[in-house]
Amino acid sequence: MITIDRIAFSYGKTPVLKDISMKLESGRIYGLLGENGVGKTTLLTLLCGLKKPDAGTIDIDGQCPFRRKPGFLASEFYLGDEVVAHPVKASAFAKENGKFREGFDMGKFMELMEIFETETDRKMNAMSFGQLKKTHISFALACNCRYLFMDEPTNGLDIPSKTQFRKAVMKYTAEDSTILISTHQVRDLENIIDPIIILDRQDVLLNASVAEISEKLHFDYSNEKIEGALYGELIPGGSIQVTLNTSGEESKVNIEALFNTVLRHKELIKGLFKK
Domain count, the chain: 2
For every one of its 275 residues, what pLDDT tens digit does the chain have, with 9 covering 90 and above? 999 999 999 999 888 999 899 999 999 999 999 998 899 999 999 999 999 999 999 999 999 999 988 888 889 999 999 999 999 999 999 999 999 898 999 999 999 999 999 999 999 999 999 999 999 999 999 999 999 999 999 999 999 999 999 999 999 998 899 999 999 888 889 889 999 999 987 789 999 999 999 999 999 998 888 888 999 998 777 899 999 999 999 999 999 999 999 999 999 999 999 86
Supply the CATH number for residue 150's domain. 3.40.50.300
Scored b (16 or more CB within 10 A) or e, 184-216 reads eebebbbeebbbbbbbbeebbbbbbebebbbee
Q: What is the pLDDT of residue 187?
A: 84
Together in a domain, 134 and 247: no
Together in a domain, 94 and 194: yes
pTM across the whole model:
0.93
Q: What is the pLDDT of residue 73?
A: 86
| Alpha helices, DSSP H, located in the chain | 40-47, 70-73, 90-98, 106-115, 129-142, 159-172, 186-189, 210-216, 255-264, 266-272
Q: What is the pLDDT of residue 161?
A: 94
Together in a domain, 133 and 260: no
Helix (H, G, I), strand (E, B) or coil at 19: strand
Q: Please, are residues 133 and 155 in contact by the beta-carbon 8 Å criterion?
A: yes
Query: What is the domain extent for residue 229?
Result: 209-272
Together in a domain, 138 and 71: yes
Together in a domain, 143 and 113: yes
Q: Residue 6 region, left (φ>0) first, then alpha (ψ -120 to 50), else beta?
A: left
Together in a domain, 56 and 136: yes
Together in a domain, 120 and 138: yes
Together in a domain, 184 and 219: no
Last residue of a domain, one of 206, 224, 239: 206
Together in a domain, 242 and 106: no
Together in a domain, 49 and 179: yes
Last residue of a domain, one of 175, 206, 237: 206
Q: Please, are residues 229 and 260 in contact by the beta-carbon 8 Å criterion?
A: no
Together in a domain, 63 and 194: yes
Q: How far, in Å, CA of 143 to CA of 105, rounded? A: 6
Last residue of a domain, one of 187, 206, 225: 206
- β-bridge pairing 14-24 and 196-200: unpaired
Q: What is the pLDDT of residue 238?
A: 80
Together in a domain, 95 and 150: yes
Q: What are phi and psi of 122, to 5 degrees?
A: -95, 140
Q: What is the pLDDT of residue 225?
A: 85
